[in-house]
Structure 1
């Protein structure tokens, strides 16, 4: 099973986190299931760029972004070459390390 490592983020994951997920799982769904409250304003259909993450290691273990993801990534805050939409990343056999951006384009984040 692939391992997801989340680097520390002041608000969403202060200590960082590491967890295993089943092969084929959506990165966004795996983060939410493991207590990382990543934004996903469009309900994970690649239409909002609020689930933007940076893949710091393991990018070669997931598929390349398709045209739809690349188009929506243009709307992400702090875009980098390692940027991906977590709703579009599906884990395969390899491990992945991600960093959550400091800001999201979702200005009206709901708090629990």
Structure 2
């Protein structure tokens, strides 16, 4: 299992998830009923409601976003930052064990 930490926007205690390799971060969050990831499109990359801010050292270790993801990041409800990603595009594997992301204040 891969440990993933979701930090709420209000700075509260992080929610730690045990995710399966091969799942997307969005799938793991939805399966755990995590608040803060809406995932309205179910991972089809058409809504930007699974926006997260990826902390280092993981942000720079992820593959760069594809053009479609970059386009969807233009429509996030919370301000886009250099470490903004769509969680549906983050494939979890052993190299991401310990991944920590900050959730935006709003997804809609």
The bucket for the TM-score relative to the shorter chain is 0.7 to 0.9
Structure 2 stretches lacking a partner, 5+ long = none
Q: 1:15 to 1:35 in 2, by over 3 A?
A: farther
For these two proteins, the number of residue pairs brought into alignment is 103
Q: Is the 8 A contact 1:52 1:100 kept in 2?
A: yes
Equivalent positions of 1:78-93 (< 5 A) are 78-93=79-94
Cα shift at 1:17: 1.1
CA distance 1:53–1:91, change in 2 (3 Å): same
- Per-residue Cα deviation, 1:52-106 (whole angstroms, up to 9, x for no partner): 11001322443321111011111112100100011111112222100110122x2
TM-score normalised according to structure 1 size: 0.80
Mapped to 2, the partners of 1:98 and 1:65 lie a distance apart of 16
- CA–CA distance in structure 2, aligned partners of residues 90 and 40 of structure 1: 15
Unaligned ranges ≥5, structure 1 = 107-112
Distance in 1 of aligned mates of 2:26 and 2:88: 5
Give the structure with the higher percent helix.
2
DSSP-derived class of the 2:4 partner: strand
Structure 2 counterpart of 1:109:
none
Instruction: Name the counterpart of 1:55.
Output: 54
CA shift for structure 1 position 35 = 2.4
CA RMSD in angstroms comes to 1.9
Does the 8 Å CA contact 1:49/1:75 hold for their aligned counterparts?
yes
